[in-house]
Structure 1
Amino acid sequence: MINFRDLFLLFLFTLILFSCSENEPQESSAQQSGTPVAGYEVIQQDLSRTVSASGAVEALHIRIAGAPFAGIIESVDVEEGDEISRGDRLAAYDLTETEAELRRSEAQVHEVRQRVERIERLLDGDAISRSEYEDVQAELAVAEAEKEVWQTRAELGVVRAKTEGVVTERYIEPGSPVSANEQLFRIEDTSTLVIRAGMSELDVIHIDRGDSVRVYLDAYPDQPIEATVRRIFPSAESSSRRFLVEVALTNSPEIIVRPGFMGRATFDVDRREKTLAVPSEALLASQRGEQFLFKIENDSLVRVDVEIGVARRNRTEITSGLLEGDVVVGTNPTNLNEGAHVRITEWIE
């Protein structure tokens, strides 16, 4: 005889079986309610083409301090790496001979002037002719000119900086004999540093003066430096057939940049900063060659014909057919059909 407890357990077991049989079809139906797809929201992207060109960092203004005349260098006051200002003393000649010649010429000028004064008195008394007076005046002019030569030579005997900057090369030592116009120092004005990068004619036509450029130095590979196109050389180099583009680096207190550093200047060419784009694999082509994709509306697929532009970095520009914010099937749409019911299981970034 079945008691009340056994009847209760039998009822409970039957209820559990019935509940499971009801839930299984619902779960299966929910799982099959739509084909899983990867979704992509159409947004504006930067599809500008980038081109990189290498070059060495250089000072925009470079001065070569040359020897004003032949002689012996007595002292050198600066060395490589020294920062200098305009008018600073760089080196000095041995001016022993120059100073002696200057004293001699000064004495000669003094002597000729005394003769001129005597002749002027005689001229007033008609004791000498006008031609004799003019001869002495000419002699005085020659003596004064010679004095100026030696005086100028004495002043130039102290070589001074004609600009501010950093001494990057020193070609002389104390006691060095030098000839006129021989190079003594190389001085670079590091307040403005540039990179001159060579570019092909296909790329240089897309670059304008004032364009922003990113520069990556080998010394700081993870710290891009902002730069600006300063000028574009008017003709190609004969050897490489490339056009030099000069970019000026922006000063940064966090990064010490020195002339000679190697770097890569990255240019944005064919600018397309705000472009609607989709993953390239989202596009399909009809038998007539028309481009289309599937837009997701209310969990259903709608075919949308589109016009496309450039394709870069696995993204294709959409010039018409879509609006910002539209959601499309982002990948593997080949086996899908218009009107199919879908559900988004993942999003493509």
Structure 2
Amino acid sequence: MSTLTFEALGKSYGDTEVVRDISLTIREGEFVSLLGPSGCGKTTILRMVAGLVEPSRGRILIGSDDVTRLPPNRRGLGLVFQSYALFPHLSVTENVAFGLRRRKVAGAELDRRVREALAMVRLATFADRMPRQLSGGQQQRVAIARAIAPRPRVLLFDEPLSNLDAQLREEMQIELKRLQRDVGITTLFVTHDQGEALTMSDRVGVMARGVMQQFAPPEDIYHRPATAFVAGFIGRPNRLAGRVVRRDGAGGRVRIGDRVELAAAAIDLPDGAAASVIIRQEAIRLAAVGATASPSDAPDRVPGVPGTVLLRSFSGARVQYVVRVAEGVELVAETGSQGAAADLAPGTAVSLNIPPEAVFAMPPEEPAP
């Protein structure tokens, strides 16, 4: 088990910077996810760690060892690909044994380590099956067993759950977190799915345009976003152009359009400044005008914002509403699919409760270079 450190790590292709001076340390046994949209640089970082892409600048250290220029087979890594990359003509046992044989492990030691790896991923009874006889989730676990059998110093995951259906993906998130905790290997996980990153990680690095926007525990990423990009990328955001009305301590008030004024818990802009106002859909509470809301849905300190339901969309556990709150200003609000607010028809007059903690007034994002 080792730390994984990036020192001013960067990668350029010609004049295009795809990774810009990333410096951080992943602690021993820590599960860290790199999260961001396609093209943000997260996969390039993983490939630099794996030795598949050469950095343009900076260093990569595993423990105290500088591995920046070492070939992949000398870095002590386990890598799980998006495609699993199982050998179709080899049994589960032989797939797991493949990397061990290349490391000259043989005999009883080979058998023991294969059995241990399969037991860790709960596939001991599938040892003699071929990959085609396995489900997608089982194939994924074989790939993980093959990666951990050589006892790597660092484990790398390249969007390993993206090919699974939604239900299996959620099950595998729990399995991966349990396995990583049990094995204790320092893990770097690359994903574009915020649910995966927040669910499994000890810390999350959110990236955009090659820059690390924030590196922090999931709770901080969600509740205390450091940039407008993070606030708008995490959760289900309403993103609106606004202006700071006034500062009041750490927070204050912002205006959207001509009529809608909201309290925000944190504002790092001067009075009168243009702001990117981000409001989490899932934090908005709404009730039909005249309905009695529970105290948790309508705290006395937050006045309601009047609006009219335009659209209703049912998705099982949740219901989404598009609500017009002013001319040219619409908000999407999300609520549970049971309760008084779950069946509001278009045209219903509603009151929206928007707590200050759900409103982020950030500097407007700079356009992509």
TM-score range, shorter chain: under 0.3
Tell me which structure has the larger Cα radius of gyration.
1
TM-score between the two structures when normalised by the length of structure 2: 0.18
